[in-house]
Amino acid sequence: MSASQQLQAEQQPQAIYLKDYKVPDYLIAKTELHVDIYDGYTLVTSNLSLRENPAAQAASQLKLHGTDLELISLAIDGKELAANAYEFGEESLTIKNTPAQFLLTCVTKIFPEKNTSLEGLYKSRTMYCTQCEAEGFRKITYYLDRPDVMSEFTTTVVADKKFPVLLSNGNLVGQGDLDNNRHFATWHDPFKKPAYLFALVAGDLAHIEDSFTTCSQREVTLKIYVEPKDLDKCDHAMTSLKNSMRWDEEVYGREYDLDIFMIVAVDDFNMGAMENKGLNIFNTSCVLAKPETTTDVGFQRVEGVVAHEYFHNWSGNRVTCRDWFQLSLKEGFTVYRDSEFSADMGSHTVKRVEDVSLLRTLQFAEDAGPMAHPIRPESYIEISNFYTLTIYEKGAEIVRMLANLLGKENFRKGTDLYFDRHDGQAVTTEDFVAALADASGKDLTQFKRWYSQAGTPRLQVTDEYNEDTQEYSLHIKQSCPPTPECQQKLPFHIPVAMGLLGSAGDLPLYLKDAEPDFETGDNTHKVIELTQQEQTFVFTRVQEKPVPSLLRGFSAPVKLHYDYSREDLMLLMSRDSDGFNRWDASQQLALQVINDVITVYQRGENINAASIDSRLIEALRSVLQDESLDQAMVAYMLTLPSEAYISELADIVDVEAIHYSRALVRKTIAHELRSEFDRVYNGYDHQQAYAVTADAIAARSLKNVALEYLMLLDDEDIIRSCERQYLTANNMTDVMAALTQLVNAKAELAQSLSGNALAHFYEKWQAESLVVNQWLTVQATCRLPNTLARVKALEVHNAYDSKNPNKIRALVSAFCNNNAINFHDAEGEGYKFLADKIIVLNKQNPQIASRLLTPLTKWKKYAPARQLLMKTQLERIMAEPDLSKDVFEVVSKSLA
Ligand code: B3K
Ligand code: ZN
């Protein structure tokens, strides 16, 4: 290495390792904050009661975290410190010769109006708000900004009266007027918490109010604060909140603990929402909902996110993380909790299909890419990069497996023990698993490998049937591909839920050398536990050669390979007693058929309807005729595997082959099942009042899937019906479904109508930011040519705001992630466009910049020409001066 290279390497951001964890030198018993907000700047005075941590070695100096702070003054026990008593480091302040116990008073000046990172204290439209997780508190004042330092906070917020609402965590303990048209509010949070759960809001906000009586008969005030214009869109969030509170009492025995629970909606927010103690801050997109402006998916998202943040009050706040390597302790568990809640509010099978679709496309892709990491990572450069699908969604799958392995009763005993044992503590995933093991007596030693080994395990299953002995054997071999930090994996403990299907349905299961299991009532369902690299399970008294139904309910986050014939899949689709596997069989069958077409396409031959196996059509026809099926499941079974899922499964992604083959299969289905789709579409009562019940959502989704297929037929009558739906629908789900079809239809008539509809839509909804976002997305995801030019034009439209994360997600991210055929433009224009955005955002908002990088990180999955184009853009970003840690980490790992 040359000297200059060495210097460069030293200046590069450094990784932080789990193995280096040390307990903090000091603890902060109490934190008193005084936050004085002025136009253009804010003064923060903190009083910290510090004492040496008895569990640490005597330190005699105190190193505090701090980023972008202007230090005004620093005093110990009221005595101002001389400048040589402390030292600034990079993002830190070290005070020398500190006593064992003292009061530190620190005044800092910060500039929320200039804070475009949306981390720390910042201004969103008319209000001031905070986002501190993971390490944003250090942008407010010098502090021990780590989750294992838990403190009792008292916060006084002071501002001009043009900000009438002043909020912070806990209970309101004082308020009053001050000189110069200013006022204050003081909040006290009796629960010790880490700084990442701190929050503050000041603004001119309206609110709705309700109350909840807890299981021990305490009254809790519930308030949702929004900008006055949004007051009509809070009811669904309030209902969801009350349902969540009840559910957590009933299912986990968890009661809410403060007198008040508040939600504030802000429009500029890097993610969905934040679980600050007693004062959740939400992205408007995850709180506001009403039928005229919000789709069914939007309603469900509000319900899910409200529940998720509320559930964090126990899984995250009362029991928190020791360090950020433990992030999945709270996130995986809480996603599992919110997913079960949503399932209980709607349908378990439908929710499972939705969760698994997300996991199998995006999380599996992450686990196979350069950013792959175990759910408890060993190292990171920037923790913000680890709020991933792996930590959240795979983390939830690991908890789900634990819940299923233990069974309902033992799992509840385990979570009770976990909450009891660790209330008020900052703990590790080891502690979580230990509580479950202790309460249930189950040995989870091998299971813990799921926490430390990355990558998606693969199960290769073969079988044989012996007619003479009536024995059926399943051989299962597990393996796991190497990931950046681990080449060799030890076998996982994998629960495989299964059944065997005979010609007349489920067969009884007699596993050799094991007691029959009558838990499911009829002994037709079993969970076999894999613990070795290779295992064989023999079933006796099997009277005919069965078709195995494996991994029912997606019992483990793995890729299962079994050589199903198309007849097998058709049997599973129509007969499996497991609804999830019926859906999965439909996807496997469709995949096989799409892959046939892809093969023809790649041979350079013409693809046409003749390349399509009619068995898929017949299977889907039966699905459409099956009255016993939930309509939501019919809709999902009719929906072909997404391009993203097909790409994830491919070794090399052939963008065009996937796109055109899938499109051809869709069009053929539309032609062949036209009368069935007509029947569904025309049989739907378009005049009915809107409801957000599971049944109503299901009926709408099936009807709109029918419309989607019918619109592939380029039929004038259908195009007119679609326009009618757009113009007359009484809810946004149906409006957007129709608009999406008009925008994507090739027919000249549809194109001209879509032009009118888009203009009309904007005219009507321009004042509703969240609706405008949907308008941006429908255009950004248009699969027709020239979409990039349209996206670029929209960037300079009034509808767009390049600083608002929701707008960036609606336009740029939607184009790059959900429009493969246009983003992967053969000349690389899409890649260049994305890199341009990332370079700007790197300075403005590093978290958003880093998140946007995802599609480029997948470059190794493409053919050489595209690889080169993608890599060139990554290198271009890498060469930028002043790369944020966020962007540096993702780009450097992608290029490594
Ligand atoms: N805990 C927050 C996520 C914070 C992300 C910080 N970059 C939201 C949630 O998972 O509930
Ligand atoms: Zn969370």
Residue with tokens 């620093």: 74
What angle is formed at CA 194 by the lines to CA 189 and CA 195, rounded to 5 degrees? Answer: 85
- For residue 9, pLDDT over 90 is answered with no
Q: Which pLDDT does position 4 carry in this prediction?
A: 57
Residue 695 has pLDDT above 60, yes or no: yes
Gap between the Cα atoms of 238 and 249, Å rounded: 17
Which pLDDT belongs to residue 520? Answer: 63
What's the fold here for domain 22-204?
Immunoglobulin-like (2.60.40)
| 144-170 per-position pLDDT tens digit | 999 999 999 999 999 999 999 999 999
pLDDT at 1: 54
For ligand 2, the distance from its centroid to the CA atom of residue 391, given in whole angstroms, is: 10
> Does the pLDDT value for residue 12 go beyond 70?
yes
Domain 322-452 bears CATH identifier 1.10.390.10: yes
Q: Alpha-carbon distance 770 to 750, whole Å?
A: 25
Ligand 1: which residues within 6 Å by Cβ?
133-134, 271, 273-275, 308-309, 312, 331, 384, 387
Which ligand is in closest contact with the Cα of 396? 2
- Please tell me the distance from the alpha carbon of residue 23 to that of residue 707, in angstroms, as a whole number: 59
Domain borders along the chain are 22-204, 212-217+226-303+310-320, 322-452, 458-556
Q: Which ligand is nearest to the CA of 194?
A: 1
- Please give the pLDDT value at position 517: 72
379-380 and 426-427 beta bridge pairing: unpaired
Structure tokens at 95: 């005070």
Closest residue by Cα to residue 191 from 277, 108, 130, 126: 277
Exposed e or buried b for every residue in 30-50, given b needs 16+ CB within 10 A? ebbbbbbbeeeebbbbbebbb
| In contact, 658 and 643? CB cutoff 8 Å | yes
% the chain with pLDDT above 90: 97
Place of tokens 């004038």: 716
Instruction: Write down the H helix ranges in 603-654.
Output: 614-625, 631-638, 643-649
Q: Which atom of ligand 1 is nearest to the CA of 272?
A: 8
Coil, helix or strand for 30?
strand
Ligand 1 nearest-atom number relative to CA 305 = 11
Alpha-carbon distance of 403 to 409, in angstroms, equals: 9
| pLDDT for 710 | 98
- What confidence category does residue 485 fall into, taking pLDDT thresholds of 50, 70 and 90? confident
> Which atom of ligand 1 is found nearest the CA of 383?
7
pLDDT band with cut points at 50, 70 and 90 for residue 515: confident
Tell which phi-psi region holds residue 822, choosing left (phi > 0), alpha (psi between -120 and 50) or beta. Answer: alpha
Phi, psi (degrees; rounded to nearest 5) at 618? -65, -40
Q: Which residues pair with 506 in a beta bridge?
A: 501
- The closest residue, in CA terms, to atom 10 on ligand 1 is 331
Does residue 658 have a pLDDT over 60?
Answer: yes
My answer on whether omega of the bond before 134 falls inside 30° of 0, hence cis, is yes
Q: Which of 560, 473, 562, 552 is nearest to 510 (CA)?
A: 473
Task: State the Cα–Cα distance between residues 72 and 335, nearest whole angstrom.
Answer: 42
Strand ranges in 214-339 using DSSP code E only, listed in sequence order: 219-226, 260-266, 273-274, 279-283, 320-321
Distance in Å, CA 509 to ligand 2 centroid: 40
What's the CA gap between 648 and 364, in Å, rounded?
7
| CA atoms of 138 and 195, how far apart (whole Å) | 9
| Residues within 5 Å of ion ligand 2, judged at the Cβ atom | 331, 334
Answer for the pair 30, 1: CB distance below 8 angstroms, yes or no: no
Tell me, yes or no, if the pTM score tops 0.75.
yes
Fold match between domain 22-204 and domain 322-452: no
pLDDT tens digit string along 278-323? 999 999 999 999 999 999 999 999 999 999 999 999 999 999 999 9
Smallest Cα–Cα separation from 783: which of 752, 813, 825, 729? 825
**Residue 309 catalytic?**
yes
CA angle 443, 447, 453 (to 5 degrees): 155
Mean pLDDT over the full length of the chain: 97
Nearest C-alpha to atom 7 of ligand 1 is from which residue? 384
Mean pLDDT to the nearest integer, 228-252: 99
122, 269, 387, 388, best to mutate for ligand 1 pocket (most atoms within 8 Å of CB) = 387
Instruction: Using the predicted structure, report yes or no on whether residue 6 has a pLDDT greater than 80.
Output: no
CB atoms within 10 A of CB 762: 16
C-alpha triplet 762, 694, 676: angle, nearest 5°: 80
- Kind and range of the H or E run holding 597: helix 579-602
Assess whether pLDDT exceeds 60 at residue 7: no
From 132, 198, 271, 845, the mutation candidate for ligand 1 (largest count of ligand atoms within 8 A of CB) is 271
pLDDT value at residue 409: 98
Ligand 1 pocket test, pick from 131, 137, 275, 326 with the greatest ligand atom count within 8 Å of Cβ, gives 275
Pairing, β 41-52 against β 86-89 = unpaired
Closest by CA to 529, choosing from 489, 572, 498, 499, is 498
Q: What is the mean pLDDT of residues 405-412?
A: 98
Q: Tell me the residue length of the chain.
A: 896
Q: Helix 732-744 crosses helix 716-728 at what angle (to 10 degrees)?
A: 150
What CA–CA distance (Å, rounded) separates 511 from 517? 9
**Closest Cα to atom 6 of ligand 1:** 133
- Residue having the nearest C-alpha atom to atom 4 of ligand 1: 133
Return the residue whose CA atom lies nearest to atom 8 of ligand 1: 274
| Candidate of 135, 329, 331 to mutate for ligand 1, largest count of ligand atoms within 8 Å of Cβ | 331
How far is the C-alpha of 302 from the C-alpha of 616, rounded, in Å?
A: 36
pLDDT score, position 223: 99
- The CATH number of the domain covering residues in 458-556: 2.60.40.1840
Dist. CA 327 → ligand 2 center (Å): 9
CA–centroid distance, 222 to ligand 1, in Å, is 22
CA atoms of 425 and 413, how far apart (whole Å): 19
Residue 397: half-sphere exposure toward Cβ, Cα within 13 Å: 27
Mean pLDDT check: name the lowest of 287-296, 478-487, 718-727: 478-487
Q: How far is the CA of 196 from the centre of ligand 1 (A)?
A: 10
For the residues 813-829, what does the mean pLDDT come to?
98
Q: Is 217 helix (H, G, I), strand (E, B) or coil?
A: coil
Which ligand is closest to the CA of 324, given by its number?
A: 1
- Ligand 1 centroid to 271 CA: how many Å? 7
Give the closest residue to 569 by CA, choosing from 552, 540, 592, 544. 592
Segment 769-776 mean pLDDT: 99
Per CATH, the architecture of 212-217+226-303+310-320 is what? 2-Layer Sandwich (3.30)
Examine the pLDDT at 519 and tell me if it is beyond 80: no
From residue 438, how far is each of 244, 318, 406, 510 by CA, in Å?
28, 21, 11, 31
Residue of minimum CA distance from atom 2 in ligand 1: 274
Look up residue 598 and give its two tokens. 């892809």
**Confidence tier at 516 by pLDDT (50, 70, 90):** confident
* Residue among 215, 216, 279, 210 at smallest CA distance from 246: 215
Structure confidence at residue 169 (pLDDT): 99
Question: Beta-carbon neighbour count of residue 152 at 10 Å?
Answer: 17
Ligand minimally distant from the alpha carbon of residue 274: 1
Nearest CA to ligand 1 atom 1: 274
pLDDT at 425 over 70: yes
Task: Spell out the SS3 assignment of 684-708.
Answer: CCCCCCCCCCHHHHHHHHHHHHHHH
Three-state DSSP class for 395? helix
pLDDT at 11: 78
CA of 327 relative to ligand 1 center, distance in Å: 10
CA-to-CA distance for 578 and 566, rounded, in angstroms?
18
Helix, strand, coil fractions of the chain, as percent rounded to 5: 45, 20, 30
Only one residue has tokens 């992205």, namely 283
At residue 521, does pLDDT exceed 90? no
Using CA atoms, how far apart are residues 494 and 447, in angstroms rounded to an integer?
Answer: 8
Element (H, E) at 383: none
Q: Which pLDDT does position 522 carry in this prediction? A: 82
Encoded tokens for 254: 């968890």
Buried b (16+ CB within 10 A) or exposed e, 202-233: bbebebbebebeeeeeeebebbbbbbeebbeb
Sequence-distant contacts of 651-658: CB under 8 A, at least 24 apart: 651/861, 652/861, 652/862, 652/863, 653/858, 653/861, 653/862, 654/598, 654/602, 654/863, 655/820, 655/821, 655/824, 655/862, 655/866, 656/601, 656/821, 657/598, 657/601, 657/602, 658/594, 658/598, 658/820
Residues 522/499, Cβ–Cβ less than 8 Å: no
Atom of ligand 1 nearest to the CA of 270: 7
Average pLDDT of the residues in 788-797: 98
Ligand 1, atom 5: nearest CA belongs to which residue? Answer: 133
Q: How far is the CA of 395 from the centre of ligand 2 (A)?
A: 11
CA of 386 to the centre of ligand 2 (A): 12
Residue 569 is given by DSSP the state H
- How far apart are the CA of 359 and the centre of ligand 2, in A? 16
pLDDT, residue 58, reads 86
**Could you tell me the sign of the dihedral formed by the alpha carbons of 111, 114, 118, 119, in that order?**
negative
pLDDT tens for 526-538 read: 999 999 999 999 9
For residue 502, what are the β-bridge partners?
505
Active-site residue, from 133, 275, 309, 795: 309
Atom of ligand 1 nearest to the CA of 392: 10
- Residue 807 DSSP SS3: helix
Q: How far apart are CA 255 and CA 311, in angstroms?
A: 10
Beta strand pairing call for 260-266 and 219-226: parallel
Q: Which ligand is nearest to the CA of 334?
A: 2
Atom of ligand 1 nearest to the CA of 384: 7
Which among 132, 274, 311, 324 is the best mutation to test ligand 1's pocket, defined by most ligand atoms within 8 Å of the CB? 274
User: What atom in ligand 1 is closest to the CA of residue 335?
Assistant: 10
Residue identified by tokens 């925008």 is 743
**What atom of ligand 1 comes closest to residue 275's alpha carbon?**
11
